[in-house]
């Protein structure tokens, strides 16, 4: 056997590394991971044009790095992904800083210092790496760093911290910066919502973007008293615990218009329903059922909160980007998850339309009944012919008119616009107002009731009307 050492072509490898699935917002989040792992209290991001070129800087006041630690941090795959990580460490592969930066920029400059060491500067210049076909890391003096670098002055004022700067950004044009800033803001507010709020004892971190402080966006709306939480379930895979908790968001009738619209996220309710997987309190996957159940309009208010630690990456197929469709639950707990999903969505179906009661209400006599057909679970809605108003109307007609009325009602219930109603409740719930869709003068209604009383309507019949939808005590003036 002949063994040949065959290292990769550096130039080709670098070009490939630049295209492994990062979007700009996901790439920025990977840099924030490092800042949080460094125990930062404050993280500032500036993304703006400098001399007609987009440039992005991330500054944190974390523990920082000395010269040797910084050089090692600039190495690709500096850590073994199989090594056990400390609690709170958001990294895994030792690739995030480099791959996230390379995906957007050809010039990565990192300046860092600790309380016991002066500032060190390391830089990857991909144009240089590609042209020389060598992994040559630039070591700079602090005065060699471009004086226009955003947040450089603020870095000098810190006792310790790290400044990461992306120059030579070639994936975003200047006219797209404002659009990308909005995307980054939304993404970070969601992904790091527990850190921004300090939820559940999570270390609170302040994050600002272009001098605007980000606010946590909690996709489960925990502060809303109308949000329904189920009992948490603890599952196990390879002796590692997985905490799963179902959540039903407030319906349109249970919360304000602004809160309801905010909970929809920028993706809308349909695409936001499903699981929200937190790894060490950092959201890494969301808005998915992992094909364990189907996405459906009736599940729009259902969200499942799942918590794992940072030593389950292999089980959950966590990728370098810590985001996207690659993350998937372990096979050993899929059946358990499916059962939890079905239970939560069953509850959620009753809340989407704002109703928590069954159709056949034993207190009120309803206008509509739900009717089951056969033993296959199919059902529909029919007009309740036991309603007192229908009975009074029916008894006042001759056979011909009675048949005509029943024919009309039969066709009316057959063409009940269920899909249109459901679509309106989901997409424009605050504009849907059935109470005002048909105007009935209250005085006319009183006159009709008075004429019924004069025609001999008994107290028993009046009592039945009082127990019916659409009537109240005031109308009868008893």
Residues 344 and 264 reside in one and the same domain = yes
By CB neighbour count within 10 A (0-12 exposed, 13-18 middle, 19+ buried), where does 48 fall?
A: middle
pLDDT of res. 461: 63
How many Cβ atoms from other residues are within 10 Å of residue 38's Cβ? Answer: 18
Give the start-end residues of each E strand in 190-320. Answer: 206-209, 212-213, 228-229, 233-237, 240-248, 274-279, 282-288, 302-308
Enclosing H/E stretch for 355: none
b/e burial code for range 382-416 (CB count within 10 A of at least 16 → b): ebbeebbbbebeeeeeeeeeeeeeeeeeeeeeeee
- What are residue 277's phi and psi, to 5 degrees? -95, 120
Same domain, 262 and 174: no
Looking at the fold, whether 78 and 201 belong to one and the same domain comes out as: yes
Does residue 90 lie within any of the structural domains? Answer: yes
- Residue ending a domain, among 294, 325, 352, is 352
Q: Tell me which residue of 328, 351, 154, 394 sits closest to 254, measured CA to CA.
A: 351
477's torsion region: left (phi>0), alpha (psi -120 to 50) or beta? left
The residues, ordered by sequence, that sit 6+ positions from 150 with a Cβ below 8 Å of its Cβ are 46, 48, 50, 55, 56, 57, 165
Report residue 273 as tokens.
């329903």
Same domain, 337 and 374: no
Q: How far is CA 127 from CA 23, 95, 149, 439, in A?
A: 21, 19, 19, 71
Buried b (16+ CB within 10 A) or exposed e, 135-148: eeebeeeeeebeee
Query: Does one domain contain both 66 and 203?
Result: yes
Helical packing angle, 459-466 and 442-454, nearest 10°: 150
Residues 168 and 205 in one domain: yes
> b/e for 189-216, b at 16 or more Cβ within 10 A?
bbbbbbbbbebeebeebebebeeeebeb
- Among the three residues 158, 178, 213, which one is the final residue of a domain in this structure? 213
- State the pLDDT at residue 361: 42
d(CA 25, CA 234) in angstroms, rounded, equals: 32
- Both structure tokens of 67: 């010269």
Give pLDDT, residue 72: 93
- Mark whether 34 and 174 lie in a shared domain: yes
Q: Note whether 278 and 284 are within 8 A (CB).
A: yes
Output the six-digit token pair for 455.
Answer: 């025609």
Query: How many folded domains does the chain comprise?
Result: 3
Q: Confirm whether 20 is domain-assigned.
A: yes
Q: Which of 163, 196, 191, 148 is nearest to 48 (CA)?
A: 148
State residue 353's pLDDT score.
47
Helices 177-191 & 24-37 angle (0-180, nearest 10): 50
Q: Is 467 within the bounds of a domain?
A: yes
CA 157/CA 142 separation, integer angstroms: 14
In a domain, 204, yes or no: yes
Does residue 3 sit within a domain? no
Residue 280 belongs to domain spanning: 228-352
Q: Are 338 and 381 in the same domain? A: no
Same domain, 199 and 260: no
Pick from 57, 68, 150: which is nearest to 116 by CA?
68
- Does 218 map to a domain? no
Report d(CA 361, CA 300) in Å as an integer.
Answer: 25
Say whether both 236 and 335 belong to one domain: yes
Other Cβ atoms less than 10 A from the Cβ of 422: the count is: 14
Domain end marker among 161, 188, 213: 213
User: If we measure between CA atoms, which residue out of 84, 95, 80, 81 comes closest to residue 33?
Assistant: 95
Determine the pLDDT at residue 446: 67
CATH number at residue 32: 3.30.565.10
Q: Are 89 and 280 in contact (CB under 8 A)?
A: yes
Bridge partners for 162 per DSSP = 60, 112
In a domain, 222, yes or no: no
With 0-12 / 13-18 / 19 or more C-beta atoms within 10 angstroms meaning exposed / middle / buried, residue 344 is buried
The tens place of each residue's pLDDT in the chain, 478 residues long, gives 999 887 888 888 888 888 877 899 999 999 999 999 999 999 999 999 988 899 999 999 999 999 999 999 999 866 655 555 566 555 544 577 998 999 999 999 999 999 999 999 999 999 999 999 999 999 999 999 998 999 999 999 999 999 999 999 998 999 999 999 999 999 999 999 999 999 988 999 999 999 999 999 999 999 999 999 999 999 999 999 999 999 999 998 888 989 999 999 989 999 999 999 999 999 999 999 999 999 999 999 999 999 999 999 899 988 766 566 579 999 999 999 999 999 999 988 866 544 433 334 444 567 777 777 666 667 788 888 877 778 778 878 888 888 888 888 888 887 788 777 777 766 676 676 666 655 556 666 666 667 666 666 665 665 555 555 555 544 445 4
Residue 233 belongs to domain with CATH number: 3.30.230
- Answer whether residue 77 is part of any domain: yes
Annotate 254-268 with DSSP letters as a single string: TS-HHHHHHHTTTT-
Question: In the prediction, which pLDDT does 408 show?
Answer: 85
Question: How far apart are the C-alpha atoms of 119 and 114, rounded to whole Å?
Answer: 8
Q: At what angle do helices 10-17 and 96-104 cross, to 10 degrees?
A: 80
Q: Are residues 334 and 393 in the same domain?
A: no
286 and 153 assigned to the same domain:
no
């Amino acid at each position: 056997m002949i063994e040949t050492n065959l290292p990769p072509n550096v130039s080709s490898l670098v070009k490939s590394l630049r295209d492994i699935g990062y979007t700009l917002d996901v790439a920025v989040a990977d840099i924030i991971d490092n800042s949080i792992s460094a125990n930062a209290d404050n993280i500032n991001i500036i993304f703006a044009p400098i001399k007609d070129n987009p440039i992005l800087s991330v500054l944190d006041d974390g523990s920082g790095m000395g010269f040797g630690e910084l050089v090692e941090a600039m190495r690709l795959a500096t850590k073994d992904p199989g090594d056990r990580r400390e609690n709170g460490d958001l990294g895994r592969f030792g690739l995030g800083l480099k791959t996230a930066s390379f995906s957007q920029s050809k010039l990565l400059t990192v300046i860092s210092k600790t309380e016991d060491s002066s500032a060190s500067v390391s830089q990857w210049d991909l144009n240089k790496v590609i042209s020389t076909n060598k992994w040559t890391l630039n070591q700079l003096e602090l005065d060699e760093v471009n004086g226009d670098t955003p947040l450089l002055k603020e870095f000098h004022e810190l006792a310790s911290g790290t400044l990461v700067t992306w120059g030579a950004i070639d994936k975003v044009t200047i006219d797209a910066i404002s659009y990308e800033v909005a995307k980054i803001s939304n993404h970070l507010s969601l992904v790091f919502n527990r850190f921004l709020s300090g939820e559940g004892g999570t270390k609170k971190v302040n994050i600002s973007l272009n001098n605007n402080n980000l606010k946590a966006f909690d996709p489960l709306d925990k502060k809303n008293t109308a949000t329904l939480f189920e009992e948490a379930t603890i599952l196990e895979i390879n002796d590692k615990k997985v905490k799963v908790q179902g959540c039903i968001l407030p319906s349109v009738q249970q919360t304000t218009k602004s809160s309801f619209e905010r909970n929809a996220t920028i993706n809308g309710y349909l695409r936001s329903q499903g699981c929200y997987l937190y790894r060490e309190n950092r959201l890494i996957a969301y808005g998915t059922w992992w094909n364990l159940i189907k996405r459906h309009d009736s599940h729009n208010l259902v969200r499942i909160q799942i918590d794992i630690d940072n030593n389950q990456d292999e089980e959950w197929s966590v990728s370098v980007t810590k985001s996207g469709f690659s993350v998937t639950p372990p096979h050993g707990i899929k059946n358990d998850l499916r059962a939890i999903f079905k239970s939560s969505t069953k509850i959620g179906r009753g809340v989407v339309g704002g109703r928590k009661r069954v159709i056949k209400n034993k207190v009120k006599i309803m206008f509509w009944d739900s009717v089951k057909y056969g033993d296959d679970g199919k059902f529909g809605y029919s007009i309740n012919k036991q309603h007192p108003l229908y009975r009074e109307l029916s008894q006042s007609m001759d056979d011909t008119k009675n048949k005509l009325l029943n024919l009309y009602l039969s066709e009316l219930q057959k063409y009940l616009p269920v899909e249109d109603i459901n679509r309106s409740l989901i997409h424009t719930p605050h504009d849907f107002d059935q109470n005002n869709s048909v105007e009935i003068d209250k005085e006319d209604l009183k006159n009709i009731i008075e004429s019924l009383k004069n025609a001999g309507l008994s107290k028993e019949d009046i009592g039945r009307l009082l127990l019916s939808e659409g009537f109240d005590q005031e109308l009868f003036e008893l």
